[in-house]
Amino acid sequence: MFIPGQDAVKITDRAAAQIAKLMATDGHKALKIGVKKGGCAGMEYTMEYVDELGPHDEAVEKNGAKVVIAPMAQMFLFGTEIDYETSLLESGFKFNNPNVSEACGCGESIKFDDTLFAKP
């Protein structure tokens, strides 16, 4: 649940370090995250570099890292923790999202809790 006055997403120290490194290397202003239809569970996360923020983008900054949430993805991502993990086989960003009800085995595709779509 999103609480006014709190950041929409939480960025771990590891994720902030990796985002800041990517932004410094490539000269971009922020990393924009969103969601799109796709994958075996129905939705997928998106990530792209941006140099300008849109008027309705939600921005979160930590330790020199800036993450921007696309307007249409905000309700899906509020409360998410963005982490960066490194293992022997792979390295990458991990989304710990309380709004996800199911994920496929590969972890790339997700399904959101149906209550996000309920009309008041």
Identify the pLDDT of residue 1. Answer: 45
Q: What is the pLDDT along the chain (120 residues), one digit of tens a residue?
A: 445 567 889 999 999 999 999 988 878 999 999 988 876 667 888 899 999 888 889 999 999 999 999 888 888 888 889 999 998 888 999 888 887 776 766 656 667 766 555 555
The domains of the chain are located at 10-117
What's the pLDDT tens digit per position in 56-82? 899 999 999 999 998 888 888 888 899
Per the CB < 8 A criterion, the answer to whether 19 and 11 are in contact is: yes
What percentage of the chain carries pLDDT values higher than 70? 79
Please give the pLDDT value at position 62: 94
Helices (H) and strands (E) in the chain, counts: 2, 9
Domain 10-117 has CATH 2.30.110.10: no
Residue 23 parent element (H or E): helix 13-26
Distance CA 54, CA 74 (A): 13
The pTM for the full model equals 0.79
The closest of 89, 93, 98 to 17, measured between CA atoms, is 93
Do the beta carbons of residue 61 and residue 15 sit within 8 Å? no
